[in-house]
Chains A and B, each alone.
Chain A
């Protein structure tokens, strides 16, 4: 919890710095985006099967880390007519579930993953239209992952629960294509890209220590890599140059 608050503080500080820079720039922009992402998560998917085998219970995998919604907030400066750069913040989540239930009781294991990312981006205009500009964008970011494993067991009137937290740090690179429609000071933006990540081990605490391992003793990571779709409505804060 403390780490989350700290992360928010860092993010707000970065926003203020960015705002001060942006307010003095030739032209700056900020855009919140809704994202839809797919996730590799092959290690965690396999771990779900291991978990069932090890439990000795008749669990079934019912949820297997599906694509899910998230958001991005980007703020940038226009360097010249053709390129701009800035900071990007993001968050998304997914999860898996092993579950069994009958008249005598139930057993369940939920694997809930969420991530927060912060990074920089640089985008280059690749056409000549001023009202329908198209950009190639790439970004590099640091991703913080939090995984919550919730175990529930009920047998007749007896209940038992358990929760375990894991954390990891990843680094990602995302190339994407960005399409904009300029409408006076506002603009609509949509993008498609692919996230490549260097994944870090999931620790049982924020400071390392024990790791999440599979049957073979291999350490498991959160593989957030995958397709990224986004859509947002941005604002040009100090529009001085015509497109």
Chain B
């Protein structure tokens, strides 16, 4: 037991001599990075060269390529002296050098960079483990500018304006090219002093002035100046097959890549703008207003060079494509007959002149009014001497004075023969059976003057016999006779109603009354009569019964939109359409825009419209069979 006790005490003494000592460790098993890495130091400027001519304050942007290790420390030395203001962003390092603060001569720039090894080791964390990178280059400072060279020369190369000048004897500068044109006033700075040409990719025509300077921080010198003009396109105007104006261009002198052409109405009363690629060559459609004599503005521009635009103000008169007229009569063939001094027959829908009165005669008479039967077989005119002439619309060589003979009872007793003299006041219409509605004054013999007072007489003339088959000696109106000759309508002497008469085996019987207004008989075996005012279009069927006051009631009526001024309302039997001419409230000077809107007579459904410029000289704007016509000689399809 003693031995055990002694051993225990010895063991206890051993334990008592031991104090706790930690044994554990944490060993990070990371590997040591390679001692060197391949690093490429690149400057982000294709014009950089070593040695580098420092001609202006320049910022150098260096990038550590080929590795992703970030910069943890850097230093830039100029001739061994540290530079301030070095900026580091990621693996990019930038700094500026100003030649004004550096003496003329060669100087060494040294860039020293420490790159993180990214090993994550204790040394790396404490910044004691890195890759050292060095890059040096030389800058040349020379503040004396080179001598000027010869003048500039200009040429279009591949459609781009190119300036050329002689090579200078130094490269210690940068170029400044100053542009001046109507829309451009700016500088283009070219850093490379070795070039001797400048391609102006924005130029698209017009007058432009260039001055080339060489510059450095001490000043600048002009080395050349010149100007250039180019008309970029040839502009043309024409009509298409629908008689719409076409603006086209050709002979393009500039490179057409990314170039647009903008054409807009300028100072017209209808504003419009079209922008298309210059390669499109033309625009058509709703552009110019018929009769527009104002200018259009042309702008040519290349995408990305807005200030270089070429502007041109082109005075344009839309082309006349029709015979000038003061009046148009249409017939069912169809044919158009125009009256303006001369009478012309024009084909339809091809507006070709087929015949003219002046083609057969010297037209000495001044024609005031022209009527042609709906079948185009009989025509009559009234001259300024108040005489009638008859002609064959199919052959203008058959044109002759038409004596008006009347033999009948004299109102005051006895008989009267008006063949001795008359003055025709008006002629309004001719039926296919050669009855004409006219108004006239009989020239009496001197012996009769005490018994008979001259007065305006409304009458129905039988052209074939030359006799007045019906007359009203107290009416200033001219009867409007239906195309088939079965009806005529005439305002009463008070002009408050239209009086309808029907032909009954040679005698004309009063049928009834319609309201006052402009009247149109329909054709095509229809018995309808249109009465048109500035507010309404009413249609009456003459076969319907009248009321006790002998008034016809309309079978349908349409109200006319009054949003714009209603200038004229007409009816075209060829197309069986009503047309309403509106005058726009906005106008410039004496110009007004006249818009014709066309509606079907049955349901008043909208058919289309056409615009024209009206002024004192443009004449009437009317509608016939799908087209609208302007008096100075324009025709255009209704759209």
Name A residues whose Cβ lies closer than 8 Å to a Cβ of B: 32-34, 57-60, 62-63, 66, 68-71, 91, 93-97, 99-107, 110, 112-114, 155-156, 183-184, 186, 232-233, 235
Interchain CA distance A69-B20 in the complex, whole Å: 8
What are the residues of chain A within 8 A of B9 when measuring CB–CB? Answer: 32, 233
How close is B224's CB to chain A, nearest CB, in angstroms? 65
User: Known: A34-B12, A156-B123, A186-B5. Contact between A102 and B27, CB under 8 A?
Assistant: yes
Interchain CA distance A232-B9 in the complex, whole Å: 9
| Chain B 1-48 interface residues, beta-carbon cutoff 8 Å to A | 1-2, 4-5, 8-9, 11-12, 15-16, 18-32
Find out whether the CB atom of A99 lies under 8 angstroms from the CB atom of B26: yes
How close is B6's CB to chain A, nearest CB, in angstroms? 9
How close is A36's CB to chain B, nearest CB, in angstroms? 10
Find out whether the CB atom of B122 lies under 8 angstroms from the CB atom of A155: yes
How close is A62's CB to chain B, nearest CB, in angstroms? 4
Stretch at the interface among B124-132, B384-392, B591-599: B124-132
Interchain CA distance A32-B129 in the complex, whole Å: 56
Interface check B121, CB cutoff 8 A: yes
User: Known: A58-B125, A69-B15. Contact between A233 and B8, CB under 8 A?
Assistant: yes
Interchain CA distance A203-B55 in the complex, whole Å: 69
Can you list 11 A-B pairs, Cβ within 8 angstroms, ordered by A?
A: A32-B8, A33-B12, A57-B125, A70-B15, A101-B28, A102-B27, A103-B31, A103-B32, A104-B121, A113-B20, A232-B12
Find out whether the CB atom of A34 lies under 8 angstroms from the CB atom of B122: no
How close is A68's CB to chain B, nearest CB, in angstroms? 5
Which of the listed residues A96, A97, A102, A112 has the most CB atoms from chain B within 10 Å of its own CB? A102
- For B4, the closest partner residue in chain A by CB is A233
Interchain CA distance A68-B22 in the complex, whole Å: 11
Find out whether the CB atom of A102 lies under 8 angstroms from the CB atom of B1: no
Instruction: Please report whether the interface of chain B is mostly helix, strand, loop or mixed according to DSSP.
Output: loop
Find out whether the CB atom of A58 lies under 8 angstroms from the CB atom of B122: yes
User: Known: A60-B26, A68-B20, A97-B22. Contact between A104 and B1, CB under 8 A?
Assistant: no
Partner of A155, one of B30, B32, B123: B123
Interchain CA distance A189-B128 in the complex, whole Å: 59
What are the residues of chain A within 8 A of B119 when measuring CB–CB? Answer: 104
What are the residues of chain A within 8 A of B21 when measuring CB–CB? Answer: 95, 112
Find out whether the CB atom of A94 lies under 8 angstroms from the CB atom of B12: no
How many interface residues does B have (CB within 8 Å)?
Answer: 34
Partner of B20, one of A60, A93, A184: A93
Given contacts A95-B20, A100-B122, 13 further A-B contacts (CB under 8 A): A32-B9, A34-B11, A58-B28, A69-B15, A97-B24, A99-B26, A101-B28, A102-B29, A103-B30, A104-B122, A104-B124, A112-B20, A186-B2
Interchain CA distance A112-B20 in the complex, whole Å: 7
How close is B118's CB to chain A, nearest CB, in angstroms? 13
| Chain B 543-573 interface residues, beta-carbon cutoff 8 Å to A | none
Find out whether the CB atom of A101 lies under 8 angstroms from the CB atom of B129: no
Interchain CA distance A70-B32 in the complex, whole Å: 43
- For B30, the closest partner residue in chain A by CB is A102
How close is B232's CB to chain A, nearest CB, in angstroms? 70
Interchain CA distance A63-B25 in the complex, whole Å: 9
- For A115, the closest partner residue in chain B by CB is B19
What are the residues of chain A within 8 A of B24 when measuring CB–CB? Answer: 62-63, 97, 99
Partner of A95, one of B4, B5, B11, B22: B22
Find out whether the CB atom of A184 lies under 8 angstroms from the CB atom of B25: no
| Chain B 108-164 interface residues, beta-carbon cutoff 8 Å to A | 119, 121-126, 128-129
Find out whether the CB atom of A102 lies under 8 angstroms from the CB atom of B19: no
What are the residues of chain A within 8 A of B1 when measuring CB–CB? Answer: 183-184, 186
